[in-house]
Structure 1
Amino acid sequence: MKNMTGLSIKTEQGQLYILDQTLLPHQQRWLHCQQVEQMVVMIQQLQVRGAPAIGIAASLLLAYRAGQGDSRAQLLCSAEVLRASRPTAVNLMNNLDAMVATLQQSDYVSAAVACAEQLFAEDVQLCLQMAEHGAALVQPGERLLTHCNTGGLATAGVGTALGVVRLAQQQGKGIKVWVDETRPLLQGGRLTAWECEQLGIPYQLICDNMAAMLMARGEVDRIFVGSDRIAANGDFANKVGTYNLAVLAHYHQIPFYVVAPHTTVDPSCSDGSQIPIEQRPAAEVRGVRGSFGQVYWAPEQAPVFNPAFDVTPAKLVTGWVLDSGVLDQVAVAAGALTRLTVS
């Protein structure tokens, strides 16, 4: 494999490295990933996260394993193991489908490597296209709000929703960003805030339950969020708490956009009720774990409901910002999402 570098994924001299996002923002440690079992743990523990990044990381690992001499049968089995690691993120399924298709070729090793490299390069380009379409919506001086992390840490490129914010800042629009902390794992507080600091984007960190107050005070002009899967009718799954924002935005008449590449659209999924929602470990809600150990603020056996994602109905979305352009309610109702070609 050739050398490729993203904010959270890189290949050097044929080896695959993953930035451990659980240690951010205070420590940057790259993990050398060589085995499928390692990648599954990294995905499930959110050391690598973000739908595009997960799909690319899994594809690069399969390519690496092919180069290490794994048989076609072994690689097909590995693809299925990786596919089960995060059920909501459709990019993972789409990328693995592309990789599995290469395994039917006689020289499947070269084909797998070329496919993984192409998926990485494609995501970089898709991010740039989404950023251009989304930034065109942003007006000078606007106060934007986002949820979870949708920047370079979640993709191979500049990101999805945060990529839009990044380009708007680079265009000199004088924006400010409200960053939801994103309970329970604080991807906004740990990751988006870190990216904003690295990029020089003015931001303020808020608890998730403060967004309504800001909207009521007229201090939010536009909302951009990402997605892990978009159904054919426009319903979409994203980090839990996104649905809350959509309802609040609808009530306060604030434009609400979902930003995602066409690889996140699942034409075979008719609506949001068909999107599988991953349940996360109860310990994430009962307390917090870090370099300091485990701290509980709830009874250690407290029953917990901890979905990783929620589903936002299409009727609450102002527009779908894709790499191909911005779709409105009329276009999506007419089936525009089902006509997208997933490569």
Structure 2
Amino acid sequence: MINTANTIQSVKLSEDNDAVIILNQTLLPGQKKFETLTTTEDVWEAIVHLKVRGAPAIGIAAAYGVYIGVKKMNAESVRDLYDGFTKMKNYLASSRPTAVNLFWALDRMEKRFNHSLKGEPIIDEILEELRKEAELIRLEDEQVCEAIGKHTLTLLKPGMGILTHCNAGAIATAKYGTALAPIYLGKQKGYDFRVYAGETRPLLQGARLTAWELSEAGIDVTLLCDNMASIVMNEGKIQAVLVGCDRVAANGDTANKIGTSGIAILAKHYNIPFYVCAPTSTIDLTCENGDEILIEERSAEEITTKWYVEPMAPKGIKTYNPAFDVTSHELITAIITEEGIIKPSYQENLKNIQKR
């Protein structure tokens, strides 16, 4: 068995700095294929079509994407370079609306560009500054994930049964993952966690990605249909729920993959702690509560035909396919960031954590 957290880098810059190399997650678990993206348009398409997914990985890909785009402009002036950068930044920001890391990473790239304009900037120097910032975003995410894992591990005990939903693992980040980071770190310490992964319909990230990633790393993982969460909780097999997050509102409401809020409700009923593992970059204090989070709605085909040889629904049937739902802060035991463990009242404690 290999340790996926240590060996697979799902998003990286090519050696010549001219392309973004991604693990195409739409092909897993059947095929492990890395693709080379040479244009900003390639990166936009990869994000939209979920070839690269997971809030941190999306942010990293977008940072690299805007960098390779402006590098290949061959701009003749700093003004032309800046105009091109702005267009590409706005274009990449349109790829997916819910994951705040996308906008956070692009804003960081813009700040780095603006900072490089001081004095008498040279185009090559500006490009090098953008490359450094994109690489820093990736490196920092790796460090953030490890810190989240260490903090979360203090809340867990060896031998626990842990339920997770969607994929918040190594392939969704720079390394380790968020919700799966304590699983990997726990394995190194001999904690022998038993992980239960929901399939995560309709795109099956839990089945295709989490189950694959954990099994590749030699971790005890059991795949469940999404509607089996209640029975395994009732049977006493689950002692904690760990999930990732795409956005945290100022009051502690969180947006994550569709189905997360239902698991939180079940965990509350069975008195099981429900932990959200989220980098501080996902905290959006400008968003007052979960009602203000824009939820992406995806195509009907993902429900009716995507995984089937024959359509699995009547032709022309109406569908509703939100990609995310919002979990109320009242259902969340703690939000764990790289800076530490945040408990209620979230309204005040989220502000304090971002001031550090």
Offset of residue 156 of structure 1: 0.6
Equivalent of 1:59, from 54, 57, 63? 63
Secondary structure (helix, strand or coil) at the match of 2:51 reads: coil
Determine if the alignment matches structure 1 residue 307 to structure 2 residue 325: no
More strand by share: 1
Offset of residue 294 of structure 1: 5.7
Distance in 1 (alpha carbons) for counterparts of 2:349 and 2:105 = 22
Structure 2 counterpart of 1:145: 163
Q: CA RMSD in A?
A: 1.6
Distance in 1 (alpha carbons) for counterparts of 2:159 and 2:250 = 34
**Where does structure 2 lack aligned partners over 5 or more consecutive residues?**
1-6, 76-80
Structure 1 counterpart of 2:351: 338
Task: Kindly indicate whether the alpha-carbon contact (under 8 Å) linking 1:150 and 1:225 is maintained by their aligned counterparts in 2.
Answer: yes
Distance in 1 (alpha carbons) for counterparts of 2:353 and 2:94 = 25
Task: Kindly indicate whether the alpha-carbon contact (under 8 Å) linking 2:148 and 2:337 is maintained by their aligned counterparts in 1.
Answer: yes
Offset of residue 207 of structure 1: 0.2
Structure 1 counterpart of 2:78: none
Offset of residue 338 of structure 1: 2.3
Task: Kindly indicate whether the alpha-carbon contact (under 8 Å) linking 1:152 and 1:158 is maintained by their aligned counterparts in 2.
Answer: yes
Distance in 1 (alpha carbons) for counterparts of 2:336 and 2:354 = 16
Secondary structure (helix, strand or coil) at the match of 2:180 reads: helix
Task: Kindly indicate whether the alpha-carbon contact (under 8 Å) linking 1:235 and 1:272 is maintained by their aligned counterparts in 2.
Answer: yes
Equivalent of 1:75, from 74, 78, 85? 85
Secondary structure (helix, strand or coil) at the match of 1:288 reads: coil
Name the TM-score, length of structure 2 as normaliser: 0.91
Equivalent residues in 2 for 1:116-131, closer than 5 Å: 116-131=134-149
Structure 2 counterpart of 1:274: 292
Distance in 2 (alpha carbons) for counterparts of 1:286 and 1:91 = 30
AA in 2 matched with 1:247: I
Determine if the alignment matches structure 1 residue 101 to structure 2 residue 111: yes
AA in 2 matched with 1:273: D
- Higher alpha-carbon deviation: 213-222 or 60-69: 60-69
Offset of residue 18 of structure 1: 0.9
Q: Does the C-alpha gap of structure 1 residues 308 and 93 become closer, same or farther in structure 2, counting only changes over 3 Å? A: same
Structure 2 counterpart of 1:30: 34
Equivalent of 2:341, from 326, 329, 336? 326
Secondary structure (helix, strand or coil) at the match of 1:27 reads: coil
Segments ≥4 residues shifted beyond 4 Å: none
Structure 2 counterpart of 1:257: 275
Task: Kindly indicate whether the alpha-carbon contact (under 8 Å) linking 1:138 and 1:168 is maintained by their aligned counterparts in 2.
Answer: no
AA in 1 matched with 2:21: Y
Larger-Rg structure? 2
Task: Kindly indicate whether the alpha-carbon contact (under 8 Å) linking 1:36 and 1:61 is maintained by their aligned counterparts in 2.
Answer: yes
Distance in 2 (alpha carbons) for counterparts of 1:148 and 1:61 = 25
Structure 1 counterpart of 2:257: 239
AA in 2 matched with 1:8: S
Aligned residues: 334
- Higher alpha-carbon deviation: 163-172 or 181-190: 163-172
Offset of residue 340 of structure 1: 3.9
AA in 1 matched with 2:222: Q
Secondary structure (helix, strand or coil) at the match of 1:103 reads: helix
Determine if the alignment matches structure 1 residue 43 to structure 2 residue 47: yes
AA in 2 matched with 1:84: S
Determine if the alignment matches structure 1 residue 211 to structure 2 residue 229: yes
Equivalent residues in 2 for 1:151-190, closer than 5 Å: 151-190=169-208
Task: Kindly indicate whether the alpha-carbon contact (under 8 Å) linking 1:66 and 1:112 is maintained by their aligned counterparts in 2.
Answer: no
AA in 1 matched with 2:352: R
Question: Identity over aligned residues, as a percent?
Answer: 40
- Higher alpha-carbon deviation: 5-14 or 294-303: 5-14
Q: Does the C-alpha gap of structure 1 residues 221 and 298 become closer, same or farther in structure 2, counting only changes over 3 Å? A: same
Q: C-alpha deviations, 1:105-150, integer Å up to 9, x for none?
A: 2342122111101101100100010010011111111100000000
Q: C-alpha deviations, 1:151-172, integer Å up to 9, x for none?
A: 1111011100011211122211
Q: Does the C-alpha gap of structure 1 residues 314 and 174 become closer, same or farther in structure 2, counting only changes over 3 Å? A: same
Q: C-alpha deviations, 1:202-253, integer Å up to 9, x for none?
A: 0100000000011111111000000000001110000000000000000000
Distance in 2 (alpha carbons) for counterparts of 1:62 and 1:161 = 28
Equivalent of 1:222, from 228, 237, 240? 240
Equivalent of 1:10, from 9, 12, 20? 12
Determine if the alignment matches structure 1 residue 248 to structure 2 residue 252: no
Name the TM-score, length of structure 1 as normaliser: 0.94
Task: Kindly indicate whether the alpha-carbon contact (under 8 Å) linking 1:288 and 1:295 is maintained by their aligned counterparts in 2.
Answer: no
Equivalent of 1:297, from 312, 318, 321? 312
Structure 1 counterpart of 2:3: none
**Where does structure 1 lack aligned partners over 5 or more consecutive residues?**
none
Distance in 1 (alpha carbons) for counterparts of 2:168 and 2:38 = 26
